[in-house]
Structure 1
Amino acid sequence: MTESLHIVCPHCHTTNRVRADQLASDPSCGSCKQALFTGHPAALDEAAFDKHISRSQIPVLVDFWAPWCGPCRQMAPAYEQACAQLEPRVRLVKVDTEAVPNLGARYAIRSIPTLALFKNGREVARQAGAMGAADIVRWVQAHSA
């Protein structure tokens, strides 16, 4: 019997049950019918963030950033590239610390960009500073095994 995983939709934030062996075959949300994996990071508000962190059974990589931050804007294309390489094994999301200051405060984000990796609702790794796509992928793989 194949293991089922809970995957939160990046569009409507409904929790879906997906067989592990079906992750790579473009599963769709049972509620909104959109793709569960798009190859692009999902921008989250506080409520959506909490759902993704607490309910996803795949690791969630969070990019804490702000629109005024030069290094954040510089890293954005690399984060997109990393997303295309890491999905569907990892969900990549972005949190704008200007628009959602509570999350930045809750996680004591002191500098941006900061990447934080969550597994099973807990932060397991954190890295401050801009990184290239290959470095992001390597860092995530090293901490999500």
Structure 2
Amino acid sequence: MSEPVHIVCSQCRGVNRVPGTRLSEGPKCGRCHAPLFTGHPIALTGADFDLHATRNDIPLLVDFWAPWCGPCRMMAPAFEQAAKILEPQVRLAKVNTEEEQALAARFGIVSIPTLILFHQGREIGRQPGAMGTHDIVRWVRAQSQGL
């Protein structure tokens, strides 16, 4: 990927243009100088969801979860590990459905955890149920082939 890529900063919400060949070199935000990738999922709210879903040129994998959900808590370390493997080719994020009920309703979340993969604002894959790290990575790579 040699074309410039737009990446939204999780700290200040600035949209950064990064040469595709430099994504794996630890790029920093031009506005706040925070690392654009940390190897950890970011928390999204209704206020910043659309910005991340539509302005990132890389796919966005969102884990819709709730703190009271046993399978969600069980999958959390696997999702965290998947972020270390998939970044910077994919941005990983979490949406707490208890705090963001409008987002959960908007995407028709009926069971948690549910993973949804977005690319340029469009849903390109959905997977309900808890998964292990390798299953998450394999599923994302299969869904995002050819992007």
What range is the shorter-chain TM-score in? over 0.9
Task: Give the percent of matched residue pairs that are identical in Structure 1 and Structure 2.
Answer: 60
Tell me the residue number matched to 1:132: 132
Q: Residue by residue, what CA displacement relative to the aligned partner does 1:14-63 show, whole Å, maximum 9, x if unpaired?
A: 11100000100000001111000000000011121110001010000000
Displacement, 1:120? Answer: 1.4
Q: What letter corresponds to residue 58 of structure 1 in structure 2?
A: I
Tell me the residue number matched to 1:85: 85
Distance 1:36 1:135 in 2: 25
Tell me the residue number matched to 2:107: 107
Distance 1:107 1:44 in 2: 14
Tell me the residue number matched to 2:57: 57
Distance 2:67 2:11 in 1: 22
Q: What letter corresponds to residue 86 of structure 1 in structure 2?
A: L
Distance 2:73 2:12 in 1: 26
SS of structure 2 residue aligned to 1:142: helix
Alignment of 1:2-81 (within 5 A): 2-81=2-81
Distance 2:11 2:123 in 1: 23
SS of structure 2 residue aligned to 1:29: coil
Distance 2:54 2:119 in 1: 9
Equivalent pairs counted in the alignment come to: 144
Q: What letter corresponds to residue 71 of structure 1 in structure 2?
A: P
Tell me the residue number matched to 2:116: 116
Query: If the length of structure 1 is used for normalisation, what is the TM-score?
Result: 0.98
CA RMSD of aligned residues (A): 0.6
SS of structure 1 residue aligned to 2:47: helix
Q: What letter corresponds to residue 122 of structure 1 in structure 2?
A: R
Q: Residue by residue, what CA displacement relative to the aligned partner does 1:83-106 show, whole Å, maximum 9, x if unpaired?
A: 000000000000000011110000
SS of structure 2 residue aligned to 1:46: coil
Distance 2:96 2:130 in 1: 15
